[in-house]
Amino acid sequence: MKWQAISPQSLHTRTWDDEVVVYDALSGNTHLLGLAAARLLAAIAQAPGDIAALAHTLEQHWPDLTAEEAHTHVDAMLAELAGIGLIAAVSP
């Protein structure tokens, strides 16, 4: 299963330290994300990805994570991002 941003062109972000505010112009909602979730969202907005590719992206930013830890974190962040309507699962 791959994940894609619902409307990448409608996402506007601002970063402060380790937090990122994302404004979704399509829905009018504003979301506060951690830096890892924001980087994951940015990767998905550039190109849909499956969990393995997205976990690899996370590992590149945080090399101290094991592959298993990265996979676990990505899985949780995907659920969070999908729950707030920023991403959706798509069939391959």
pLDDT digits (tens, 9 = 90+) for 31-73: 999 999 999 999 999 999 999 999 988 888 888 888 899 899 9
Domain boundaries of the chain, sorted by first residue: 2-8+36-90
Distance CA 83, CA 50 (A): 17
Residue 92 pLDDT > 80, yes or no?
A: no
| The predicted structure's pLDDT at residue 20 | 97
